[in-house]
Amino acid sequence: MESVSVVTVFLRHRGDVLLRKRSDDAGSYPGRWDAVAGLVEAEDPAETARTKIREGTGLGGDAIRFVRRGAPLEVADEDRQTAWTVHPFLFDARTRSIETNGETDEVEWVAPTALLRRPVVPDLWTSYRRIAPTILSIADDETHGSAALSTAALEVLRDRAGALAVTEHVGEEQARGRLVDVTDRLLAARPSMAAVHNRIHRVMDACAPELEPAAVEAAAHTGIARALDADRRAAEQTADRVAGKRVLTLSRSGTVLEALLRATPAPEVVVAESRPAREGVDVAETLAEDLEEVTVCTDAAVAALLAEGDVDVVLVGADTVRPSGAVVNKTGTRGAALAAAREDVPFYAACAADKIAAGEEARTEEGNRRAVYDGTRALHVRNPTFDVTPADLVTGGISTEDGIYDAASVPARAEEAASRSSWREAL
């Protein structure tokens, strides 16, 4: 049996992935659906992955972004006497406009669960599962904000429901139990992130009490598009508030990042490095690709920089907004808010309204202690991931897709979230 190494590259855009129907001229598996794929032609399969994206779709450079690489898998095809070593990759694409080559008859952007319903190349679903988000990857993620993690949670729920609908032949009650179980595990993975909870609850509430897997699959996929639209509109609203200003921010918020890049005229931005993961440095580097004036500073310097009087606005994201209007966000947010209030600098939190939580319950997460201290002394170590900024320190308000929320307007939205979280009562 011949051994052949190939890459299988899933391009993702707004929750869909690109599938290509192989033409009669394809060297293998004509008429079947595949992702972007090809023979490994470089020492590092990642280099081949980018080459195959460019050759198969015309996309490259800033039009694609690497997300993750999956563990290789072995696929034996007895009919072809070929042992494939498949190297799976996931890239995000900024556009769906692509070019095709002679090996492709058709292309479609579809939910990944479409792989379960089409004639595909061998083990394509297994390849996808190697790069798909998981409950563990969501729980362990210390880089992305809650907007990104909430859509990842919806992807997990969609994929699990799709598998139950197509390949796992179980009874209605057992399917319902499995969906409730994966929901509970997703909610427990990020207990402090209201967007994860609200977006998952919206799907389950819409499908209860039956929780029929195909219905949950469809609702979760629709929920991804809805969430991305809400996050985009929140960024657009926020961009108007920071246009042409000198803005201080910290940590990583997709909404904040997009708002700063959309703002016209372009703002000047100061980014706190956001220890211990220092995701703020990556944000500063990303901003510097498009903005002329970007500064990175230590977290400890935030108060001093605000005191210098050279900052017009402090803008942060929010992992959760409590019914009181208090903002739960990356540790360092409260200190920045206190310093901003002392210097009379407006302080905004930017997020989709789905981040408004149903209750005031205090939920905290601790990061890796070794990120703070990896010595041998018997020290107690604290590495809280989030802190709580009281509503009265959020002086500019909470900038959402619906406009500015102040502390008085938050409770009504919290009541809506609470009503959607009661779907279990109907089971």
The answer to whether the CB of 96 falls within 8 A of the CB of 5 is no
DSSP states along 14-33: TTEEEEEEE-TTSSSSTT-E
- Which of 320, 317, 316, 111 is CA-nearest to residue 197? 320
275 contacts: CB under 8 Å, gap ≥ 6: 299
423 contacts: CB under 8 Å, gap ≥ 6: 201, 204, 205, 208, 209
Measured distance CA(170)–CA(326) in Å, rounded: 44
Is 92 one of the catalytic residues? Answer: no
328 contacts: CB under 8 Å, gap ≥ 6: 192, 194, 318, 319, 320, 321, 322, 386, 387, 388, 389
In a 3-state reduction of DSSP, which class is residue 384?
strand
Residue 171: count of CB within 10 angstroms of its CB: 8
Among residues 184, 319, 344, 402, the one annotated as catalytic is 319
The answer to whether the CB of 314 falls within 8 A of the CB of 249 is yes
Measured distance CA(188)–CA(182) in Å, rounded: 10
Active-site residue set: 319
